[in-house]
């Protein structure tokens, strides 16, 4: 059967001082990610490319205009969705932007947190994030490409490659 995932972006805005912008998903009681912190992003529209989606999502969610970003990797999440949908995420570091970051949006509050706290897993994250976040923020310039199958709401394995 062909793989037909929901395609999405996930971006981590950094401030150059060791902090990263996260959304604390705390506003919608029906949110699958309620209480968790995450980067910003969302689903790709049919009329846009991956980079355009990341730029649009950051403008919509944080009120900023991206002026510099780097693709750090991709993750395939088979079975991740609340109804078992497959997801494919393109993960970016945003290292330059214009505008003032808003305080939040309809999904939650926007907060600056130390990158070390994010990578160490001390924040309330998706449990599977601990596998790919170190790759997002490491010094290896090569993008990573991972797969993290989910079953019954939990990651069951993780593998990746870099070339």
Domain ranges of the chain: 6-162
| pLDDT of 32 over the 80 cut | no
For residue 69, pLDDT over 90 is answered with: yes
| pTM of the full structure | 0.95
Q: What confidence category does residue 33 fall into, taking pLDDT thresholds of 50, 70 and 90?
A: confident
Q: Is the pLDDT of residue 35 over 90?
A: no
The CATH number of 6-162 is 3.90.79.10
**Angstrom distances, CA of residue 66 to CA of 2, 4, 13, 99, 107:** 34, 28, 9, 9, 20
Instruction: Look at residue 111 and tell me whether its pLDDT is greater than 90.
Output: yes
pLDDT for 50: 98
């Amino acid at each position: 059967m062909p793989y037909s995932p929901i395609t999405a972006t996930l971006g981590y805005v950094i401030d150059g001082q060791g902090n990263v912008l996260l959304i604390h998903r705390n506003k919608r009681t029906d949110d699958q990610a309620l209480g968790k912190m995450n980067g910003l992003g969302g689903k790709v529209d049919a009329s846009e490319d991956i980079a355009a989606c990341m730029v649009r999502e950051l403008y919509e969610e944080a009120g900023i205009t991206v002026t510099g970003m780097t693709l750090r990797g991709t993750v395939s999440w088979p079975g991740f969705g609340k109804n078992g949908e497959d997801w494919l995420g393109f993960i970016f570091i945003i290292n330059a932007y214009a505008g003032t970051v808003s305080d939040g949006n309809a999904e939650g509050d926007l907060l600056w947190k130390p990158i070390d706290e994010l990578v160490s897993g001390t924040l309330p994250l998706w449990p599977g994030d601990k596998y790919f976040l170190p790759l997002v923020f490491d010094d290896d310039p090569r993008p990573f490409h991972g797969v993290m199958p989910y079953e019954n709401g939990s990651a069951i394995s993780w593998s990746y490659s870099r070339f």
